[in-house]
Copies of this chain bind each other. A is one copy, B any other.
Amino acid sequence: ARIVTLPGDGVGPEVTAAAVAVLEAVATHYGHEFAFDEHLIGGAAIDATGEPLPAGALQACKASDAVLLGAVGGPKWSDPNAKVRPEQGLLALRAGLGVYANLRPLTVHPALATLSPLKDEKLKDVDVLFVRELTGGAYFGAKTRGADYATDECRYTEAEVERVARRAFELARARRRHVTSVDKANVLETSRLWRRTVAHVAADYPDVTLEHQLVDSMAMLLLTRPGSYDVVVTENLFGDILTDEAAALAGSLGLLPSASIGEGRTGLYEPIHGSAPDIAGKGVANPVGAILSTALLLRHSLQLEAEALAVEAAVDHVLQHGPRSRDLGGHAGTADVRDAVLAALA
């Protein structure tokens, strides 16, 4: 299999290297051949080429089986007046690969419950799969900037809503058969389209229960009864906000992976944490989110379920027994955690 790596900015290169080491170990143990091909994205790409996603990088991604991304962005490139920004590279990549469904699983490891801001009893049974629409909405709509005003258009077609809703219902079938669709249908026209379309798709899945929630209520319910949700499907911007909120429950943003998939053959895998410029280059970033992203890569792009489970079990073991990185209250560096995962895998 051909895997493109896009280390990107900040801690991206550090966590991506650890994740690649894990994939290499999987290849050795299970007798696979993974060919890695590294390209530039984000601020690193802007510095080297002037563009946040050079054409060659996108082409290589499209020709690959899976893309493993680190993180993009940082203070160096965050002038709001800049014409070229690192995040544009990530958005162009998501659109270019057509990966419209962003899967963000959330579980709370029992050994880490003490790190969660939420009380223990709230964390019981938390096992949510967020399905965030990733290639539409205000992220990709028309923008204008006048002398003294600005606009962003949020736009959705029925087809865009339908395909991501179908993914959510399919995924719910393999889980607890419950879908919560989140919108702001009492205010937004796109949300009314969203709600109608999701309800329409639901008719094809009579074995799955559909519930609608408004985004403001959902932001509250994720805290008051997080254990009640199975699959949560929502549009791009609401998904961005709600998944970060939910990630806080896990005890550290550094733990969580994501998979972005579409109809095409190439999936995109990235930890949900950002470039964390404050700790970049120090060898202390938690690589678990990136490593768990390789498990999703093995599962969703390479159909290697046993290998995916092995990686997840190895991470579980390390979260249980240590070593722990700083975000988890420990002193271990990125390499220590990587080595512990490799040892548990062996």
Given contacts A117-B223, A216-B241, A219-B244, contact A154 B152 (CB under 8 A): yes
Q: Say which residue of B141, B148, B193, B219 sits within 8 Å of A219 (CB atoms).
A: B219
| Complex Cα gap A196–B244 (Å) | 25
CB pair A245 B248 closer than 8 Å: no
CB pair A216 B189 closer than 8 Å: no
Given contacts A145-B193, A220-B248, contact A73 B186 (CB under 8 A): yes
A121 nearest in chain B by CB position: B117
| Complex Cα gap A156–B150 (Å) | 6
| Complex Cα gap A106–B138 (Å) | 29
Interface flags for A143-165 (1: CB within 8 Å of B; 0: not) read 11100111111111111000000
A32 at the interface (CB under 8 A from B): no
A335 at the interface (CB under 8 A from B): no
Number of interface residues of A (CB under 8 A): 63
Q: How far, in Å, is A52 (CB) from chain B's closest CB?
A: 11
CB pair B152 A148 closer than 8 Å: no
Report chain B residues within 8 Å CB of A219: 219, 241-242, 244-245, 248
Given contacts A118-B117, A188-B138, contact A241 B223 (CB under 8 A): no
Interface residues of A in 238-285 (CB under 8 A from B): 238, 240-245, 247-249, 253, 274
Query: Residues on A close to B: CB < 8 A?
Result: 73, 78, 80-81, 85, 87, 91, 116-119, 122, 138-139, 141, 143-145, 148-159, 184-193, 195-196, 215-217, 219-220, 222-224, 237-238, 240-245, 247-249, 253, 274
- List 8 contacting pairs A-B, 8 Å CB cutoff, sorted by A: A73-B186, A81-B196, A116-B119, A117-B224, A149-B156, A150-B189, A152-B154, A222-B245
